[in-house]
């Protein structure tokens, strides 16, 4: 047993999780690597290699082998954990259900908080590991009897937005070895250590179970009796005027402009999806901004709860959002958010995360938005 104890490291086969394992190994932890198979890559649209191009999906055989090769080179154990059943039951059902409700889901956040961390901690307990670790660019520290999640040092790679839902119990056992590093530094370290294949490996940004990025086809395959549930409907303007026909409301999201298949002589965007009426509401750009929203199903991180009304924060409504200053007020399990300046295309179903400087105050799911005079 090493002096620093045993740590279970989630390894996808990519450069970030691989270097996380390398760093912890060099720091003196007894590392055990684990690769979680969440989806059957071969049946989800991923291309077979046929001896040519390597698959890069997080669940592909090549990625699993890449993770195992790192473990072998550093002489630590590596396991494969098959969580396809629970992943499918929870994440994919949620993904399809949200689109069928006219909302825009964020499956990666849900997977992190309800599948991957739970699976890691269960296996960590079985392997007598005190800690778990991932290759996310984020940080965690203990302060005032809370485990505080904060942004990674690399602003361009920070992943705290996708981790807001992790419980205090889970954060108490989590380490992020890359939190204080930049992506450039990680690439330099991999090069110095001779892991050239990792440096040259392309990174995957698509949803793991939709590697071709065609979520429309995925929904058609996934939802039973699709043709009877999703039919063409009306495009309407905000005043109810019909201006065209859409292909089915689950195919659209608030803020969308491309792929509408309609020409009105001026740019229009999706401003609302009316599931029950099977209507997609369109509007000019200047009608897409809102200055308030309601967020539900909160997970509070830095503080157990907010008792102060109009607490100042920087609030992000999507992963690549820079964030907007806002006043937040917690009311039971909901957060009322009033932005200091209008925010473009607030999509119900997406995650909202509240920051105090670099620290995550908490987060939740966008329920609705409003325009306050």
What is the widest separation between alpha-carbon atoms in the chain? Answer: 71
* DSSP reduced 3-state for 123: helix
Read off the tokens for 339: 């932005």
Q: Can you say whether residue 102 is alpha, beta or left, with left for phi > 0 and alpha for psi between -120 and 50 degrees?
A: left
Q: How far apart are CA 50 and CA 365, in angstroms?
A: 42
Q: 6 with 128: CB under 8 angstroms?
A: yes
Fold annotation for 231-287: SH3 type barrels. (2.30.30)
Read off the tokens for 322: 């820079």
Show pLDDT as tens, one digit a residue, over the chain (373 residues). Answer: 567 899 999 999 999 999 999 999 999 999 999 999 987 755 554 443 333 444 445 557 888 899 999 999 999 999 999 999 889 889 999 999 999 999 999 998 889 888 899 999 999 999 999 999 999 999 999 999 999 999 999 999 999 999 999 999 999 999 999 999 999 999 999 999 999 988 988 776 678 888 888 999 999 999 999 999 999 999 999 999 999 999 999 999 999 999 999 999 999 999 999 999 999 999 999 999 999 999 999 999 999 999 999 999 999 999 989 999 999 999 999 999 999 999 999 999 999 999 999 999 999 999 999 998 7
Q: What are phi and psi of 93, to 5 degrees?
A: -60, -45
Read off the tokens for 51: 């001896």
CATH number of 6-135+177-200: 3.40.50.620
CA distances from 160 to 137, 165, 167, 323 (A): 7, 10, 13, 13
Residue boundaries of the structural domains of the chain: 6-135+177-200, 231-287, 289-370
Residue that the structure tokens 């929870």 belong to: 90
CA angle 61, 17, 211 (to 5 degrees): 45
Alpha helices per DSSP H over the chain? 15-27, 61-74, 84-87, 93-100, 107-111, 117-126, 168-171, 183-192, 196-200, 215-222, 226-229
Residue that the structure tokens 């059957």 belong to: 40
List CB contacts of 130: < 8 A, sequence separation 6 or more. 5, 6, 7, 124, 173
Residue 103: per-residue pLDDT: 96
Query: Within 13 Å of residue 216, how many CA atoms lie on the same side as its CB?
Result: 8
Quick one: which of 30, 41, 31 has its CA closest to 9? 31
Quick one: which of 111, 46, 97 has its CA closest to 222? 97
Residue 41: per-residue pLDDT: 59
Query: No. of H helices and E strands in the chain?
Result: 11, 17
108 included as an active-site residue: no
Residue 49: per-residue pLDDT: 36
Q: 280 with 231: CB under 8 angstroms?
A: no
Starting from the edge strand earliest in sequence, which strands make up the sheet with 242-246, in order?
Answer: 242-246, 233-237, 279-283, 269-274
Read off the tokens for 63: 């990625």
CA angle 149, 36, 168 (to 5 degrees): 25
Quick one: which of 175, 173, 171 has its CA closest to 302? 171
Quick one: which of 121, 110, 153, 160 has its CA closest to 10? 121
Query: Which is catalytic among the residues 59, 108, 111, 129?
Result: 111
Q: 7 with 24: CB under 8 angstroms?
A: yes
Residue 205: per-residue pLDDT: 66
CATH number of 289-370: 2.40.30.10
How buried is residue 153: exposed, middle or buried, by Cβ count under 10 Å (0-12/13-18/19+)?
Answer: middle
Q: 226 with 253: CB under 8 angstroms?
A: no
111 included as an active-site residue: yes
Please state whether beta strands 146-151 and 138-143 pair in parallel, antiparallel, or not at all (unpaired). antiparallel
Residue 46: per-residue pLDDT: 45
Query: Which is catalytic among the residues 59, 108, 129, 208?
Result: 208
């Amino acid at each position: 047993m090493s002096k620093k104890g045993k740590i279970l490291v989630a390894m996808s086969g990519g450069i970030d999780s691989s270097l996380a394992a390398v760093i912890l190994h060099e720091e003196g932890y007894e590392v055990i690597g684990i690769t979680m198979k969440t989806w059957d890559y071969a049946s989800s649209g991923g291309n077979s290699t046929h001896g040519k191009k390597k698959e890069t999906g997080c669940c592909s055989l090549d990625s699993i082998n890449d993770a195992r090769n790192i473990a072998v080179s550093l002489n630590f154990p590596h396991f494969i954990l098959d969580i396809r059943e629970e992943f499918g039951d929870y994440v994919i059902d949620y993904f399809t259900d949200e689109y069928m409700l006219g909302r825009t889901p964020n499956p990666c956040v849900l997977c992190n908080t309800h599948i991957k961390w739970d699976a890691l901690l269960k296996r960590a307990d079985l392997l007598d590991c005190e800690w778990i670790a991932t290759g996310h660019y984020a940080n965690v520290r203990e302060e005032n009897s809370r485990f505080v999640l904060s942004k990674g040092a690399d602003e361009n790679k920070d992943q705290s937005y996708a981790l807001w839902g992790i419980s205090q119990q889970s954060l108490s056992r989590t380490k992020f070895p890359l939190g204080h590093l930049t992506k450039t530094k990680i690439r330099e370290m991999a090069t110095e250590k001779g892991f050239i294949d990792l440096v040259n490996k392309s990174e995957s940004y698509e949803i793991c179970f939709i590697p071709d990025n065609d979520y429309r086809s995925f929904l058609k395959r996934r939802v039973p009796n699709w043709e009877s549930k999703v039919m063409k409907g009306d495009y309407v303007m905000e005043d109810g005027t019909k201006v065209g026909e859409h292909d089915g409301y689950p195919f659209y999201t608030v803020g969308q402009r491309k792929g509408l298949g309609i020409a009105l002589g001026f740019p229009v965007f999706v401003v609302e999806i009316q599931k029950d009426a099977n209507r997609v509401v369109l509007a000019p750009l200047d009608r897409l901004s809102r200055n308030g929203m309601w967020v539900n199903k909160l997970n509070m991180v830095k503080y157990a709860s907010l008792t102060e009304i109009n607490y100042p924060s920087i609030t992000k409504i999507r992963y690549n959002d820079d964030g907007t200053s806002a006043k937040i007020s917690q009311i039971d399990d909901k957060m009322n958010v009033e932005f200091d300046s209008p925010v473009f295309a607030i999509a119900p179903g997406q995650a909202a995360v509240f920051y105090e400087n670099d620290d995550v105050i908490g987060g939740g799911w966008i329920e609705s938005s409003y325009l306050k005079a």
